[in-house]
């Protein structure tokens, strides 16, 4: 018998109030995880400089096309594998239980890296904003801890509480970017409006591969649509719609907004503006076209954008822990949900405590919140998630090879294979240029694998190895639980 505040995993379907999330709310939640304003402020200017220059907008379209291909197989298999658990459940059913457990451990590393890395950057942005406007010097880690505690508090509530907060924050971000885009278009921009960024000469200038790496990072988080299956309204229709809409809308946003940044200064001057101070390019653009009020609005919304990303990934990681605990690969205590709100409260508490602890450790080590914590940890996440997506593509083919049913050849073979080829290419690019993301260069200025890059990539390998070891131990000591591994994930 459960108490009034808790329910076991087996009672979750009765007491967790499933069916609260519709297509729009799931899209808002995963789009908020992409943190569009912070990507536009930080990643896009760096993509201009290190990638293919003003041809970067096309790379967002290319990355979006790859993720659409991936989504074809993803949603087809998710419609048949009705357990919640995201990549954990899909890979377990397709590539096997050992691969599924290994993937679940890698997913934990990925989303934890995002939460802590983004929190550190958020703490820095608030620190600078408070110091600049009020003259008060408060360390970045204090604000990062407050953000994590705030996300943890919301994580204890019903999932639709978080979705409402994320929707409001995302709408505010979109409105300010739309206003800036309209101002640039109406004024004619710095050198007149044109489609020059879409010209082949610009697309293939500089380093398109690096541009694609930066563009791919902007989509990380859309794959989390399947993790909300238990709480989705009519999941067989809601999840596919939300997945496709999330990719399409995020892709369109970045194509248009990055083109807007080029037009704001002109094709011949945009790179110079980005090179002068990539971190302030968006703020300078807002000040130029919307005035000081617009710049302040962007500063405030950049903070809310980062918090929205922390909250969104907090919810995703909670549900990964819940599903893994239900399957027996994490402690069973994490499989409990709140009887009234349906939230995985124990998972939220554990995640919050560990995340706060990591921030404090990084602060004690004297790590820079931006150049080190924010640059390093999301790099781990990008490589991890792309690798998981590649394994999911393989899982789709293997799963439908055993039981094709009435699923078309396009959905069960062609699209997954094409996405696998593209994802492997992306992974190779990320591995080649990973030291660029960590800031390690040789004497000639070329990226090289120093100790930081080796350690960060090694964390992913160790996580996968730990998952494999966990699965093998389960198979040897608890064969019945191992055999039922995938089926123990509750819808």
Tens-place pLDDT, residues 430-481: 899 888 878 888 888 888 899 999 999 999 999 999 999 999 999 999 888 8
* DSSP conformation class of 139: -
Element (H, E) at 419: helix 415-438
The pLDDT value given to residue 437: 78
The pLDDT-based confidence of 224 (bands split at 50, 70, 90) is confident
The pLDDT value given to residue 338: 61
Radius of gyration of the chain (CA): 22
The pLDDT value given to residue 10: 37
CA 130 vs. chain centroid, Å, equals: 27
Could you give the C-alpha distances from 396 to 87, 95, 352, in angstroms and in order?
11, 8, 33
Average pLDDT, whole number, for the chain?
Answer: 87
Report the alpha-carbon distance of residue 96 to residue 266 in Å, rounded.
52
> Angle at CA 26, nearest 5°, toward 305 and 11?
120
pLDDT in tens, 57-66: 999 999 999 9
The pLDDT value given to residue 14: 32
The pLDDT value given to residue 213: 87
Report the alpha-carbon distance of residue 390 to residue 382 in Å, rounded.
12
Tokens for 474, please give them: 């389960």
The pLDDT value given to residue 256: 96
Report the alpha-carbon distance of residue 265 to residue 188 in Å, rounded.
10
pLDDT in tens, 150-192: 998 887 766 667 777 877 888 888 899 999 999 999 999 999 9
The pLDDT-based confidence of 16 (bands split at 50, 70, 90) is very low
3-state secondary structure of 7: strand
The pLDDT value given to residue 19: 63
Question: How many percent of the chain have pLDDT more than 90?
Answer: 52
pLDDT at 386 over 90: yes
The pLDDT value given to residue 335: 77
Q: What is the pTM of this model?
A: 0.87
The pLDDT value given to residue 9: 38
Strand blocks (E) in 43-87: none
The pLDDT value given to residue 116: 96
Instruction: Map out the domains of the chain with their CATH numbers.
Output: 9-488 (1.20.1740.10)
The pLDDT value given to residue 65: 95
The pLDDT value given to residue 17: 46
Report the alpha-carbon distance of residue 393 to residue 103 in Å, rounded.
13
First-last CA distance in the chain = 21
Residues 6 or more apart whose Cβ sits within 8 Å of residue 319: 84, 86, 227, 228, 230, 344, 347
Average pLDDT over residues 31-49: 85
What CA dihedral angle connects 51, 54, 57 and 58, to 10 degrees? Answer: -80
> Angle at CA 347, nearest 5°, toward 30 and 356?
85
Residues 6 or more apart whose Cβ sits within 8 Å of residue 122: 143, 144, 147, 303, 306, 307, 310
Report the alpha-carbon distance of residue 230 to residue 16 in Å, rounded.
9
3-state secondary structure of 122: helix
3-state secondary structure of 337: strand
Give yes or no for a contact between 270 and 262, defined as CB atoms under 8 angstroms apart.
yes
pLDDT at 286 over 90: yes
Give yes or no for a contact between 438 and 453, defined as CB atoms under 8 angstroms apart.
yes
């Amino acid at each position: 018998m459960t108490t009034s505040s808790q329910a076991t995993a087996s009672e979750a379907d009765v007491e967790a109030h499933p069916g609260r999330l519709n297509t729009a709310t799931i899209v808002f939640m995963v789009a908020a995880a992409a943190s569009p304003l912070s990507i536009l402020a930080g990643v896009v200017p760096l993509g201009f400089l290190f990638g293919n220059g003003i041809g970067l907008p096309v790379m967002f379209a290319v990355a979006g096309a790859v993720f659409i291909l991936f989504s074809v197989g993803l949603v087809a298999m998710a419609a048949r594998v009705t357990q919640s658990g995201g990549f954990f459940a899909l890979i377990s059913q397709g590539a096997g239980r050992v691969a599924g457990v290994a993937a679940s451990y890698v997913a934990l590393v990925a989303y934890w890296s995002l939460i802590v890395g983004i929190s550190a950057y958020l703490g820095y942005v608030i620190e600078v904003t408070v110091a600049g406007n009020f003259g008060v010097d408060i360390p970045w880690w204090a604000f990062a801890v407050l953000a994590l505690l705030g996300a943890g508090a919301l994580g204890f509530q019903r999932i639709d509480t978080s979705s409402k907060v994320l929707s409001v924050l995302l709408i505010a971000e979109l409105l300010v970017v739309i206003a800036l885009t309209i101002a640039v278009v109406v004024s004619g921009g710095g050198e007149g409006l044109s489609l020059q960024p879409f010209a082949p000469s610009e697309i293939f200038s500089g380093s398109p591969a690096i541009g694609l790496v930066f563009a791919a990072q902007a989509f990380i988080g859309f794959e989390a649509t399947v993790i909300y299956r238990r709480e989705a309204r009519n999941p067989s229709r809601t999840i596919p719609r939300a997945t496709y809409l999330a990719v399409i809308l995020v892709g369109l946003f970045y194509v248009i907004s990055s083109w807007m940044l080029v037009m704001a200064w002109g094709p011949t001057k945009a790179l110079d503006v980005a090179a002068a101070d990539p971190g302030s390019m968006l703020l300078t653009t807002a000040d130029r076209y919307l005035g000081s009020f617009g710049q302040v609005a962007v500063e405030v919304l950049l903070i809310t954008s980062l918090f929205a990303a922390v909250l969104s990934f907090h919810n995703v990681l909670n549900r990964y822990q819940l599903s893994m605990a239900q399957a027996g690969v994490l402690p069973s205590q994490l499989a409990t949900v709140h009887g009234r709100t349906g939230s995985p409260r124990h998972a939220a508490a554990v995640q919050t405590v560990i995340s706060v602890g990591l921030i404090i450790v990084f602060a004690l080590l004297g790590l820079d919140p931006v150049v080190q914590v924010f640059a390093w940890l999301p790099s781990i996440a990008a490589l991890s998630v792309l690798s998981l997506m590649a394994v999911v593509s393989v899982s789709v083919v293997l799963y439908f090879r055993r039981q094709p049913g009435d699923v078309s050849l396009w959905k069960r073979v062609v699209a997954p294979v094409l996405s696998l080829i593209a994802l492997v290419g992306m992974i190779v690019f990320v591995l080649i240029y990973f030291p660029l993301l960590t800031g390690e260069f040789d004497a000639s200025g070329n990226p090289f694998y120093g100790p930081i890059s080796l350690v960060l990539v090694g964390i992913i390998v160790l996580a996968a190895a730990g998952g494999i070891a966990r699965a093998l131990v389960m198979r040897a000591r608890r064969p019945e639980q191992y055999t039922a591994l995938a089926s123990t994930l509750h819808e």
